[in-house]
Structure 1
């Protein structure tokens, strides 16, 4: 009888449901492993984006320097405006392809080929524009752009402010910029208005500084909205455009015409 009671008691103990700690031990371990795996993937994604971005910026600065400092190249570019239109058409076509065709920008090697064409066309456009400004203005704007980009990047990595949740503010600023551009296009044929153009350039510089913070935090992935690690081409494209447009608006604000 005692033996039967012992067996019954051990059977009852073995059929007891597990505790909460026992039931969730495997889940917590799996969740921690997933967190570290995701963090490692995100770090690889960030390194890949900035490696491509630095290559783009070096190419762009090299072309801008060539068009600005080399007198024969500058003269050739300024006397052949059709090359600017060709660069603009290439830029527009590659931008549409990379922005709208998700499968294409994730398909190797076509995504890199389009990105190279996009970078070269944008760099040539910036070089053409910079050739009409004096050398000191171009160097000053390059330095300010580099300083602003470095400061905004460090701030975006460290701050608790979530720029990814500010799409409404960015949309309103984009609408204001569009209205200013339309106003300028109407006013300019009747006469150049320096203060109106200055306001437009200042607003553009502020807007693309905010866009740089927005796109950087999308890249980091620790805020409300994030970007998929598969979209490294699209992430690079956005940050590169923010930097280039910031440079162009600073050039309009502080640039002096070449004599």
Structure 2
């Protein structure tokens, strides 16, 4: 027979007995000595990069990029690709500027511009957003070559519609300015890669001006706005240059991102070149 049904207070008295006699806190002279508790875990160590205690992936990247031989090889590879891109673009622009038949062909077949823009945007999105393509050889170099060809065609079409002296002046000024900015970016102790908030602000300004160019082309192409955009482009170049060269910088690219590094520098140089053309047009 169930004891709880036979005596209603039995469970209450049993629970009270257990609580008072078996679960009470024992004293030093009790039969049940205190159970020692485990030692508390050691305090968590700082996981910041400055303390040297970081995740495995970051340790690998840090060790790789802090190695001077790997860093120099990375920089040489990036600048080698960049020089080839710029030389190819200059050749295409020179042909479109000084070869009369090519110049007329570019001006009469404007559909090439739209095809080049579509292919250019697609390849750029693939290189920037798809890491597997950006890091896989030779797919990354093939995409970068297509990107360079389409950009060169677009610049060739622009050059075919402008005066040759203006193009030569813009190329000369861009060369001197880019060289000076690169030297400054490497020599200065000021870290431009730590200015992430300012980078976002400048990107938003460029995007808003690009949208406004459809409704306010005269305002966007004005001399003050062109000078402002050229200054922003110079800031982008310094930022990207420091992230590639590395050193004591807040941000630095992975050594495997040589294609992305060449892409960013090439885009920065072309951006400055286009804004210089706009500035020179205001004085002609």
The bucket for the TM-score relative to the shorter chain is: 0.7 to 0.9
Please state how far the C-alpha of 1:199 moved relative to its aligned partner: 2.7
- The structure whose RCO (Cα within 8 Å, separation 6+) is larger is 1
Are the equivalent residues in 2 in contact too, given 1:138–1:255 (CA < 8 A)? no
Give the aligned partner of residue 202 of structure 1: 227
Write the mapping of 1:2-21 to structure 2, written as runs, cut at 5 A: none
- CA separation in 1, counterparts of 2:250 and 2:219? 40
Write the mapping of 1:69-218 to structure 2, written as runs, cut at 5 A: 69-188=98-217, 193=218, 197-218=222-243
- CA separation in 1, counterparts of 2:67 and 2:100? 51
SS of residue paired to 1:255: helix
- CA separation in 2, counterparts of 1:139 and 1:176? 29
- CA separation in 2, counterparts of 1:64 and 1:232? 25
Please state how far the C-alpha of 1:37 moved relative to its aligned partner: 6.9
Give the aligned partner of residue 252 of structure 2: 226
Q: Which residue, 232, 243, 246 being the options, matches 2:269?
A: 243
Alignment CA distance shift 1:88-1:151 (3 Å): same
Please state how far the C-alpha of 1:165 moved relative to its aligned partner: 0.9
Are the equivalent residues in 1 in contact too, given 2:120–2:150 (CA < 8 A)? yes
Please state how far the C-alpha of 1:221 moved relative to its aligned partner: 1.1
- CA separation in 2, counterparts of 1:133 and 1:73? 14
Are the equivalent residues in 2 in contact too, given 1:67–1:131 (CA < 8 A)? yes
- CA separation in 2, counterparts of 1:72 and 1:83? 16
TM-score, with length taken from structure 2: 0.73
Please state how far the C-alpha of 1:150 moved relative to its aligned partner: 0.5
- CA separation in 1, counterparts of 2:186 and 2:220? 35
- CA separation in 2, counterparts of 1:42 and 1:112? 20
Write the mapping of 1:11-90 to structure 2, written as runs, cut at 5 A: 38-90=67-119
Alignment CA distance shift 1:88-1:74 (3 Å): same
Residues matched between the structures, number: 221
Alignment CA distance shift 1:194-1:38 (3 Å): same
Are the equivalent residues in 2 in contact too, given 1:133–1:255 (CA < 8 A)? no
Query: RMSD across aligned C-alpha pairs, in angstroms?
Result: 2.0
- CA separation in 2, counterparts of 1:87 and 1:69? 21
Please state which structure has a larger fraction of its residues in helix.
1
Are the equivalent residues in 1 in contact too, given 2:120–2:147 (CA < 8 A)? yes
Unpaired runs of 5+ residues, structure 2, are 1-62
- CA separation in 1, counterparts of 2:64 and 2:70? 10
Please state how far the C-alpha of 1:35 moved relative to its aligned partner: 8.3
Alignment CA distance shift 1:93-1:35 (3 Å): closer
Please state how far the C-alpha of 1:178 moved relative to its aligned partner: 2.8
- CA separation in 2, counterparts of 1:76 and 1:82? 11
- CA separation in 1, counterparts of 2:191 and 2:208? 27
Which runs of 4 or more aligned residues in structure 1 lie more than 4 Å from their structure 2 counterparts after TM superposition?
Answer: 34-37
Unpaired runs of 5+ residues, structure 1, are 1-33
